[in-house]
Amino acid sequence: MQLLPRDFLAQLAREYDLSPEQEEAFVVRFSSRKNELSVAESLHISDQALRTRMSGVYKKFSIGGRGPGKIRRLHDLLIQKYQQSHPIPNIAGDDIDIDALVQEVREKILPSIQKQCGTMKVLDMTQPIGLQDIYTNVNILEKITGRRRLALNELLQNFDPNSEEFDRCGFGQITERRVLGLEVVKRYDRLLVLGKPGAGKTTFLKYVAIQCANSKILTERVPVFITLKQFAETENQPALTTYVNQIFTDYGVTEAQAIEIINRGQGLILLDGLDEVKEKDSDRILNQIQQFTQQYDTNSFVLTCRIAAQEYTFEKFTEVEVADFDNQQIQTFVSKWFRAKESDLADYFMEQLERTQPIKELASNPLLLTLLCIEFEDSGAFPPNRSELYSRAIHTLLRKWDNKRRIERQQVYQKLSVQRKEDLLSEVAFTTFKRGDYFFKQRDVEQYIAGYIRNLPDAKTDPEALLLDSEAVLKSIEAQHGLLVERARGIYSFSHLTFQEYFTAREIIAKADLEELANCVTEKRWREVFLLTPGMMRDASKLMQLIKQKIDGLVASDQKIQQFLSWVNQKSSSVDVSYKPAAVRTFYLSLSLDLKLNFFLDQTLYPYLNFFLDIDLDLDLLLWLYLDRALDLFLDFFLDLDLDLALDLDLDLAGILAPKLKHSLQQLQDKLPNPEEDKKQFQQWWKVNGKAWTEQLRTVMIEHRNIGHDWQFNNQQQKLLEQYYHANKLLVDCLNSDCYVSQEVRQKIENTLLLPAAD
């Protein structure tokens, strides 16, 4: 049933002398999609009282007969009267130069469009910024992400958080072809642009308005920018036709010119923020849009709305989705932002962003990227405690973004406050993350939500009703906050892996389940949760101790590994260096396991040869590298390695520290043929003697420097030692994060790092 404007119905009620009670029932019944029962409830009267009032209405309009056909006959009569009172004005003669008229009108409206759409001010910006100064081209997906028919295993392809090559920013990445937003506007006369909260829909629509007004695109059109929330709340609830004419009047366009533009289909009607209209106004505004687009169907229309806001149906509109920012868009936005702010922080911002992948994930959302730029601009760096940054980002999506623009949205579940929503999301995150579920079926997440809200005050107890409520809550979180998103039909995930990890850490702290977290210390996918949790705790001393105990327990029962750790400690204690003992132990453990060197307890010590190490470490490092090269050459003697040159470097250092070592190395060097004189002869000699010569080198290193031991760890031990190393690295990263740990605990952990159980 086509809905009618309330002002039109109220006018008819007065013309037909309806009583106040009859007018109230009449207006509500024909201006909303409510059924008879819902109308009665909204008027706080019984069904019988409503039927009595409507019976009087039928009499006043001379609608006779019985049965449900009466309401249809009255509806048809009302539509006929509405069309009679809102005729399409006659189009002026064909002799009008429409191109000249469009140009004249565009020149009139340009200052107003520039004023209305030319700046943006969001979040905590102290002053507006020019839209042209900051605008970054929007990309469009012509297939809606959440409507793809993909199975879970298809979404999980190439997604392994425990892999070394895991790309966090590829989480939920869309491979669909992207199209430039302006090209899509040119292509379709009716366009519904969907997007997640903060995706840049309004900014895009404002940019379209300015470009059109400046004759950069759609030169045959005249743009009209309408914020639907303002239209819905306009006094006296005018029809959209009236509202558009008033906008033209405000722009300085005559009524005759406005009518000519719209009737001839030269308008570009930009309708922003359908999801921001209050629920009580929704039916009326939808009806107005439907009527206007049907009546003036030769114009172009672009309508924006959040994904999952409601199941709107605009039959002749093409639906598209705003794509997340890619790396190039992030770079462009950041460069423009800091240039507009007359700041030279852009390069440093991008450098820090690349170093912190969990933060970079958030940058794919324009609103959150703006938040990151504001935060970085204030302090010249990202906060040392990342959890604070994530908390502000979540607060922005949960409350601040709508509050700043004074948008009131439907509260599906009245008892679900912002705090409760965070608690709910924490429970969902922890449950799914613990199981390794990064994508989850809609029915599963609805069960999690139902399990949570059933314990709230006034919750429904009927399981079926509870599930209906949980579906509404899920859609509310997706549409209003964008923290959960539909990746394919019936399959959800958190919008960013970072948010799932943050909420997981939050739930761990709430449950005080620190030992369960410590048990996951060897699982790489838990790394970010480990780094976030200490910074969110008032005192992380107990957690750090638990992690240390779990790490030491990994290798406590393996006798060979314990012997190896004893050697690491013994060797580290034998050298006279300026670095912390734990850093020196790391040095020798890393070399022995052929791991990438990472002196994580002393940031002044780097593993690159162009930095000066203490002479003891320098000699051992060069000898070890030399032994590695010899072993490589033995495995493939066709490699072109200049052993002689490398050995000369060792001889120089060896002569300073250990004359006997130098003598032994000189003897080994003398045995080598010169590869530069006869490469083929050298290869032949190495093929016969290389293995024995390499073992002699190992013996010399063990005898004079106590390094180069062949521990012959089996595969299981090698894997265990690598886990042990990386777990210790994680522990130190946690200690070095912005967390509170007592000085006694911190010192004890550092003093006992990488020591055997006996020590």
Q: What does the pLDDT average to over 554-576?
A: 94
Per-residue pLDDT of 428-443, as tens digits, reads 999 999 999 999 999 9
* 193 or 467, higher pLDDT: 193
The percentage of the chain sitting over the pLDDT mark of 90, rounded to a whole number, equals 39
Cα(489)–Cα(145) distance, integer angstroms:
9
Q: Write down the domain spans for the chain.
A: 6-85, 100-142+177-322, 327-381, 418-536, 555-744
Q: Please state, in angstroms and rounded to a whole number, the distance separating the CA atoms of residues 474 and 496.
A: 16
Ranges assigned E (strand) in 375-501? 440-441, 484-488, 491-494
CA distance 534 to 108: 60
β-strand 190-195 against 484-488: which pairing, if any?
A: unpaired
Q: What is the pLDDT of residue 149?
A: 82
Stretch among 223-232, 367-376, 602-611, 744-753 having the lowest mean pLDDT? 602-611
d(CA 478, CA 487): 11
The answer, yes or no, to whether residue 1 has pLDDT greater than 70, is no
Write down the number of H helices and E strands in the chain: 35, 12
Q: What values do phi and psi take at 87, rounded to 5?
A: -70, 155
- Determine the pLDDT at residue 623: 84
Mean pLDDT, all residues of the chain: 84
User: Which of 50, 41, 42 is closest to 21 using CA atoms?
Assistant: 50
CB distance 653 to 620 below 8 Å: no
Q: What is the pLDDT of residue 2?
A: 60
- N residues, the chain: 759
CA pair distance 592, 564, nearest whole angstrom = 9
Topology of domain 100-142+177-322 in CATH is Rossmann fold (3.40.50)
Give me the residues paired with residue 195 across strands: 306
Q: What are phi and psi of 222, to 5 degrees?
A: -120, 120
Give the residue-averaged pLDDT of 67-96: 69
What angle is formed at CA 362 by the lines to CA 357 and CA 364, rounded to 5 degrees? Answer: 105
Instruction: Report the DSSP beta bridge partners of residue 192.
Output: 303, 319
Q: Which of 155-169, 313-327, 687-701 has the lowest mean pLDDT?
A: 155-169
Q: Report the range of poorest mean pLDDT among 202-211, 463-472, 700-709, 744-753.
A: 463-472
The model's confidence at residue 157, banded by pLDDT at 50, 70 and 90, is confident
Task: Give strand pairing partners of 305.
Answer: 194
Provide the β-strand partners of residue 130: 119
Q: Are 475 and 421 in contact (CB under 8 A)?
A: no
* pLDDT the model gives residue 357: 87
* Residue 378 pLDDT grade (very low, low, confident, very high; cuts 50, 70, 90): confident
Assign 3-state DSSP to the chain and report helix, strand, coil percentages, each to 5: 60, 5, 35
The model's pTM: 0.77
pLDDT in the model for residue 302: 97
Question: Given a cut of 90, is residue 522 above it in pLDDT?
Answer: yes
Question: Span 6-85: which CATH code?
Answer: 1.10.10
CA–CA dist 287, 110 (Å, integer): 30
With a cut of 90, say whether residue 190 has pLDDT above it. yes
Phi-psi region of 44 (alpha: psi -120 to 50; beta: other; left: phi over 0): left
Specify the pLDDT at position 551: 96
DSSP string over 33-89: ---HHHHHHHHT--HHHHHHHHHHHHHHTT--S-STHHHHHHHHHHHHHHHHHSPPP
- Residues 17 and 22: their CA atoms lie apart, in Å, by 9
In the chain, the percentage of residues whose pLDDT exceeds 70 is 85
User: Alpha-carbon distance 212 to 209, whole Å?
Assistant: 5
Q: State the pLDDT confidence band at 210, using cuts at 50, 70 and 90.
A: very high
The whole-number average pLDDT for the span 268-297 is 90
- Say how far apart CA 730 and CA 530 lie, in whole Å: 8
Tens digits of residue pLDDT in 465-496: 666 678 888 888 887 788 888 888 889 999 88
Q: Are strands 222-227 and 267-272 parallel, antiparallel or unpaired?
A: parallel
pLDDT, greater one: 214 or 310: 214
**pLDDT band at residue 87 under the 50/70/90 scheme:** low
Q: Which of 407-416, 423-432, 632-641, 668-677 has the highest mean pLDDT?
A: 423-432
> Using one digit for the tens of pLDDT, what is the confidence trace for 574-617?
988 888 888 889 888 888 887 554 444 444 333 333 344 578 88
Band of residue 160 on the pLDDT scale cut at 50, 70, 90: low
Q: Which residues of 722-751 are buried (b: 16+ CB within 10 A; e: fewer)?
A: ebbbbbbbbbbebbebebebeeebeeebbe
In angstroms, the CA 343 to CA 337 distance is 9
Q: 3-state class of 720 per DSSP? A: helix
pLDDT attached to residue 540: 95
